[in-house]
Amino acid sequence: MANSTFFESTRDSKSPNRNISPITTQINVNGGLDIGGCTLSELASRYGTPLYVLDEETIRASCIAYRESLKKYYPGPSLALYASKANSSLIMSSLIASEGMGLDAVSEGELLTAINGGVPVEKIVFHGNNKSDQELYFACQNGVTIVIDNQYDIDRLEKIIPTINRSVNLMLRFTPGIECHTHEYIRTGHLDSKFGFDPDQLETVLKKLVDSKWANLSGLHAHIGSQIFELQPHEDLVAVMVDALILAKQIGHSIKDLNVGGGLGVRYIESDDPPSISDWVKAISNKLVQECKKRDIKLPRLMCEPGRSLIASAGVTLYTIGSQKNIPGIRSYISVDGGMSDNPRPITYQSSYHACLVDRVIENADQTVTIAGKHCESGDVLLKDFCLPETRSEEILGVFGTGAYNFSMSSNYNRIPRPAAVIVNKGHSEIVQRRETPEDLLRLDVLPDRFIGLN
Ligand SMILES: *Cc1c(COP(=O)(O)O)cnc(C)c1O
C-alpha cells in the first residue's frame, strides 16, 4: 500500500493505540512527514539523530480515552494509572498528572520520577516482585500505595509500617491463572509466573493480614500480560477478581479498589488489530458491573494500568541512514546510527515495526531491505525484509510505535550514548531528555589510585 493511503487508513484519533503513527501525522506539501506540526527531517537536523520524538496530542488523546471511557461505561468510581515502566520521565509524569491520572512504579527511580514530575502520592501505586528495604521505606514514607506481591514483602512491611508516622495503603497482588496469547516474556497471568500470590495461598494470606494491626488492605490487583488483542481474557480476569474480592470481604477486609492491570495491545504493523481503548474499558466495566450485581455487592473503585496503549504510538524514532551492503540474491542491509541500544524490542521479543523515509513517504517502496543497527551483534536488526524506496546514505528514516518500552529499556551497549527526546505540539518542539555524551558514560567509572599513572 502506498504510504499516503496507509497513514490515512490507520487513523483512529479517539484510540491512538489503533494507529501506527501519531494522530497528528500529516504528509506535507513536499511529500515529507509532519508530526505535531513539526517536519521530521527538520527535527533531525536541529537535534541530531537518533532522536526520540513524542507527540503530545497523541499522549493526551490516549489519557482522555481512558478517562472518558471509564466515566461513560463504569457507574462507580474509577482511576486509570499510567504504568510508567513503558516510559518513565519527568515529562510523562507531568503530562499524566495534568490529565488527572495516577501512575504505577516498580522502583525507587520510577517513584522519584513520578513524585518530582508532580503526580500526587495518593495516586501512585508501587509494584515489584523483589522490592528492596530501601524502596519499601521510601514508598511508605512518601505515602504511596504499596502492592504486596509475596510473603517477603509482608515480613518487611510488618517491621517498617509501625515505624512510619502515617497510614500506608496496601493492595494485594495475586496470579489469576489466566492464559492469554502473547509473547512468553510478557505473559504474567498464568500460574507459572514470578508475580503475585498463588490463588491457592490467597485465603491464608488474607486471613493473616486481617489479624495484623499494621496492615490496612484496601485493594486487590492482578495483571495478565501485555500486547493482548483479545477482550475475553480481561473479562475472565474481572470475574476471578470479583471472587477474590468476595473472599476478602468475608474474611473481614474492607476492599475499596479493584485493579485489573494493563495489557491492551497496540498496532505496530498493519496486520495488528487491537481493540480500541473504549471497547476495552467497556468490556471490563460491563463485566464488573454484571458480576457485582449478580453477587449483590457494592461497586469497587475500578483501577486499570495502561502502559503501552497510552504511549507507544505517540513515539517515532528518527535515524540517519549510513552504510549499505547488498549481498546479491540474499539480502540488502541498510545500517542506521542507532539500533538495539535505543530499541531492544526486536532482538528481545522479535517485535515488528513500520518505518518510512520521512522526506519521501509517497514514493513507491519497491526495494526490500533489512534495516540494521550499528551494534556488534548480528541480531541487531530493527526491521527485517521491509519495503522502502531506493535509499541514499544521509537520508532520515522514521520508525513508528517507539513511544513505549524503547527509551525505558534502552542501554549503553557498545558505549553508545542514549538519544535525545523531544516533545512536539502545534509546530513547537522542546527537548525533554538531553542527549547523552560519551563523557557522560565515563561519569561513574572509577580507576583505583594504584592504577593511575601506571601506563
Ligand atoms: C507492565 C505492567 C502494566 C502495563 O502493561 P501494558 O501492557 O504496557 O499496558 C501494568 N501493570 C503491571 C503490574 C505491569 O507489570
Q: pLDDT, tens digit, for every residue of 69-106?
A: 999 999 999 999 999 999 999 999 999 999 999 999 99
Q: Which atom of ligand 1 is nearest to the CA of 404?
A: 8
- Cell numbers at 219, concatenated: 485493594
Angstrom distances, CA of residue 275 to CA of 232, 347, 442? 11, 26, 45
Q: 117 alpha carbon to ligand 1 midpoint, in Å? A: 20
- 3 state DSSP class of 141: helix
Could you tell me if 365 and 324 are in contact, meaning their C-beta atoms sit under 8 angstroms apart?
no
**Partners of residue 124 on adjacent β-strands:** 103
Distance between first and last Cα of the chain? 60
Could you tell me if 275 and 264 are in contact, meaning their C-beta atoms sit under 8 angstroms apart?
yes
pLDDT in tens, 121-159: 999 999 999 999 999 999 999 999 999 999 999 999 999
Q: Which atom of ligand 1 is nearest to the CA of 309?
A: 9
As a whole number of angstroms, the distance between CA 348 and CA 411 comes to 13
pLDDT category of residue 454 using cuts at 50, 70 and 90:
confident
- Residue of 17, 59, 62, 85 to mutate, ligand 1, most atoms within 8 A of C-beta: 85
Listed in sequence order, the DSSP H helices in 218-296 are 232-251, 277-295
Architecture of domain 127-305: Alpha-Beta Barrel (3.20)
Residue 223 CB less than 6 A away from ligand 1: yes
Q: Which of 292, 304, 376, 387 is catalytic?
A: 376
- Cell numbers at 86, concatenated: 513503558
pLDDT in tens, 180-197: 666 665 566 667 789 999
- The pTM is what? 0.96
Check whether domain 3-55+312-441 has CATH 3.20.20.70, yes or no: no
Q: 262 alpha carbon to ligand 1 midpoint, in Å? A: 5
- Cell numbers at 32, concatenated: 515529507
Strand pairing class (315-327; 51-55)? antiparallel
Domain assignments of the chain as residue spans, ordered by start: 3-55+312-441, 127-305
% of residues, the chain, pLDDT over 90 = 91
Whether pLDDT at 23 is above 80:
yes
As a whole number of angstroms, the distance between CA 244 and CA 241 comes to 5
Is 387 a known active-site residue? no
To the nearest 5 percent, what fractions of the chain are helix, strand and coil? 35, 25, 40
Q: Do domains 3-55+312-441 and 127-305 have the same CATH topology?
A: no
Q: 81 alpha carbon to ligand 1 midpoint, in Å? A: 10
